[in-house]
C-alpha cells in the first residue's frame, strides 16, 4: 500500500473566487434585511389594530379596593385599601386613547404599604378638560390578532370616574 499522501490544498485564484461567490454579497444581505423588515412591519400591523371599540361597563369591585379619587389641580389623588391579599396596587398608569384619559392599576404580588397614589396629568399629552373625560380600564383585549379573515380591533371595557 502506498503511504498516505498529505492533503493538497488548492489555493489558486479561481478556487478562491468560487468560494467567495458562495457567500452572499453586501447587496444581497441588505435586500434580505429589508425584506425581513417589511415582513415584520406588515405582520405587526395585524397585531396592533387601529380600530378601538369602547364598551361602557359598571364599575367592578376590586381587590385591593379604591376607596377615594379626588382631583387637586392637575393631579389625581387615588386612595386604596391594601387589604393584605395576594395582589397589591403599586401605582396607576394613565394613558390617552382617542382624546380621553384612561387609568389602570399596576399590581404586584409583593407587599405594598402605600395607600395613596398621585397621578400627574399636567403633561401636554393630557387634555385640559380631563376631569370630564376620565375612565377606569376594566378590560382590554385584541380580537384574533393572527386570523386574517376577521376584522381586527382593540376592545376597551371602561367605567366612568366621577370626581367630587
The answer as to whether 130 is a domain residue is yes
Which grid cell is 111? 407587599
pLDDT of residue 1: 54
| pLDDT tens-digit series, residues 12-66 | 555 555 555 556 677 877 777 777 766 655 555 545 556 889 999 988 776 678 8
Which grid cell is 115? 395607600
Closest to 106 (Cα-Cα) out of 119, 122, 124 = 119
Whether residue 150 sits in one domain with residue 137:
yes
Whether residue 148 sits in one domain with residue 92:
yes
Q: How far apart are CA 103 and CA 131, in angstroms?
A: 12
137 by DSSP, 3-state: which?
strand
Whether residue 77 sits in one domain with residue 156:
yes
Give the mean model confidence (pLDDT) for residues 140-163: 84
The answer as to whether 5 is a domain residue is no
The answer as to whether 112 is a domain residue is yes
DSSP 73-114: TTEEEEEEE--SSS-EEEEEEEEEETTEEEEEEEEESS----
Whether residue 100 sits in one domain with residue 80:
yes
Q: What is the mean pLDDT of the chain?
A: 81
Whether residue 83 sits in one domain with residue 143:
yes
Q: How far apart are CA 121 and CA 82, in angstroms?
A: 24
- Full residue range of the structural domain in which residue 87 is found: 52-160
pLDDT of residue 83: 78
Amino acid at each position: 500500500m502506498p503511504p498516505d499522501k498529505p492533503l493538497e490544498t488548492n489555493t489558486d485564484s479561481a478556487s478562491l473566487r468560487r468560494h467567495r461567490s458562495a457567500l452572499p454579497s453586501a447587496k444581497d444581505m441588505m435586500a434580505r434585511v429589508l425584506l425581513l423588515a417589511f415582513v415584520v412591519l406588515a405582520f405587526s400591523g395585524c397585531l396592533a389594530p387601529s380600530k378601538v371599540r369602547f364598551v361602557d361597563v359598571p364599575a367592578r369591585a376590586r381587590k385591593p379596593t379604591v376607596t377615594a379619587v379626588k382631583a387637586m389641580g392637575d393631579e389625581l389623588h387615588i386612595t386604596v385599601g391594601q387589604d393584605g391579599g395576594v395582589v397589591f396596587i403599586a401605582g396607576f398608569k394613565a394613558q390617552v386613547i382617542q382624546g380621553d384619559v384612561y387609568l389602570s392599576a399596576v399590581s404586584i404580588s409583593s407587599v405594598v404599604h402605600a395607600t395613596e397614589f398621585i397621578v400627574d396629568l399636567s403633561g401636554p399629552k393630557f387634555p385640559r378638560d380631563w376631569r370630564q373625560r376620565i375612565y377606569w380600564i376594566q378590560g382590554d383585549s385584541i380580537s384574533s390578532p393572527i386570523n386574517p379573515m376577521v376584522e381586527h380591533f382593540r376592545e376597551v371595557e371602561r367605567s366612568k370616574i366621577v370626581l367630587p
